[in-house]
A and B are shown apart, each in its own frame.
Chain A
Amino acid sequence: MNIVVLVKQVPDTEGDRKLNTSDYTVDRAAVDPVINYIDEFAIEEGLLLKEAHGGEVTILTVGPERATESIRKALSMGADKAVHVSDEALHGSDAIATAKAIAKTLGGIEWDVVIAGSEATDARGAVLPALLAEVLGAPQLTQARKVTIDGSTVTIERVTDTGYEKVEGSTPAVISVVEKINDPRYPSFKGIMAAKSKPVEVKSLGDIGLDAGEVGLDNAWSQVTSFENAPPREAGQTVKDEGDGGSKIADFLASKKLI
């Protein structure tokens, strides 16, 4: 089975993330980049499916040159190879354009399932897997806490507010997984060494056959028009409990008409 895992590089949440003042895109130099946290679960799920069904795991990333660092990490966890779509013209693309670029790239790869994380920590869109399924006309099997594959049938447990739905579709299918679906492995020393020589194919827009007029900041279907740093939340009053802490909170809530 040919498994493609979508990996996004994002600025580390622990850092002081910023937007560029020139064009309002994410300032990728301000904070060290990392693999989007939930994508590690997507990689692990890809590796588990390979172990169960055979085949290959290909990492697919759309992002700037520096994303190679994240790609190497994914390879060191055990993925076989990677495709890195990198082109100046992609700068400032919205999720819709990114979905189109990923769909075009998949057109040049043999694949049965593509696995994404459910949500990225930068914009917290959680929309890319659905967009990709729509562009491809493939089954959308997203927000999975469990994935089972039997022949060409993929069944997932899709997380809902009150439990889960069992959703089923045939390959080729788009899957997204939630945190906790598995326990992502750490790269071993051997894995890290092996990753250095695994193939990473870098592709431009021309290579994947997507028109530059469909991507990038100027062609996005929505625009950021301004931004400001939110004033930090001001700490209010903190009191030490002298045996009346509970009623003090009740007084506060009453003063705010919250009770």
Chain B
Amino acid sequence: MSEVLVLVDSLDGKVKKPTLELLTAARQLGEPSAVVVGAPGTAAGLKDQLAEYGAAKVYVAESDEIAGFSVAPKAQALAAVVEQASPAAVLISSSGENKEIAARLALKIESGLLYDAVGFDGDANVTQSIFGAAITVQSKVSKGTPIITVRPNSFAPEASTGAGEEVAVSVTLSDADKAAKIVDTVVEEKGSRPQLSDASVVVSGGRGIGNADNFSVIENLADTLGAAVGASRAVVDAGWVPHTMQVGQTGVTVSPQLYIAVGISGAIQHRAGMQTSKTIVAINKDPEAPIFELADFGVVGDLFQVAPQLADEITKRKG
């Protein structure tokens, strides 16, 4: 059976959920192998978890050089593994940086790239959702090794033991791969909440919350659900939360199991970033708000009454 490569994303020494989703989905196409690219020591803590989710091999490309330059070295490392393994496909989770890695890889190995897949079958026929989820497209790579970036939450992760055999990969970087040097990494905010782009539950607040201080209503509700926190652009423009929290056409696209929109009207640009959520719940005092057109469950009411009550109920039911 041919191999299928999955680029590993990790945070704080743990494999991120989208990687586990891809290791699971990769089994449709062949035998999953994981590729860890980063600073020395990155793979050690990840290997067991990767094997638990079916990685037959764990390719390890680690060096300070790889970690010291932006994007290109990661693509070069993947290209080196592709050459060694001749895989049936390369799977990469869709994030800003990962899509750039996939793009550069496509040129390096002269292969077609399909981005933001929401599903695919055993023949690498890919499903994409475009124009704010108005159209569903089927696509196929027609040259080389299919490179597919997949939206988080498109597949459910399932454990399945793999051998997890470690294979060291040596990577030679060209001058062009070392043209963009990372001179500093700054962490501005890193709470305990999950990351917006790949969270399975997202609670977002809109202009209806009225002011920055009231945003705690959204955060409290999110915390009872272990959810990530998002916002509409109105809230970002008002300066109540940073731009990284913006959901929508010019912000983050999310596709969680559950999306709760609180005090958000549901403008088309906002919908473009959350319309593929599996279940949508809305709280808004205006019965005509367009968000109700796509909500699976909506409550017309004052968010300052409904949201805290919901938070209390969830806490109570969790016992």
Contacts and interface: CB of A to CB of B under 8 A. Distances in A.
A159 B96 contact: yes
Size category of the B interface is 35 or more
Instruction: Please classify the interface of chain B as helix (H, G, I), strand (E, B), loop, or mixed, using the class held by over half of its residues.
Output: mixed
A166 B184 contact: yes
Contacts of A226: 137-138
Given A166-B184, A241-B299, A96 B106 contact: yes
Contact of B297 (A145, A162, A167, A252): A252
Contact of B298 (A16, A140, A238): A238
Contacts of B143: 221-222
Size category of the A interface is 35 or more
Interface in B269-288: 269, 272, 275, 279-283, 287
A52 interface: no
Interface in A89-103: 94-96, 99
A168 B183 contact: yes
Interface string B277-319: 0011111000100001111111111100111111111100110
A151 to B, nearest CB: 16
A123 B102 CA distance: 16
B250 A37 contact: yes
Instruction: Please classify the interface of chain A as helix (H, G, I), strand (E, B), loop, or mixed, using the class held by over half of its residues.
Output: mixed
A237 B297 contact: yes
Given A246-B312, A259-B317, A140 B134 contact: no
Contact of B309 (A18, A225, A246, A252): A246
Contacts of A173: 179
Given A130-B103, A221-B106, A247 B313 contact: yes
Interface of A: 13-14, 16-19, 24, 37-38, 94-96, 99, 118, 121, 123-131, 133-135, 137-143, 145, 155, 158-170, 173, 178-180, 220-230, 233, 235-241, 243-250, 252-254, 256, 258-259
Given A222-B140, A246-B299, 4 more contacts: A24-B137, A221-B141, A221-B143, A258-B258
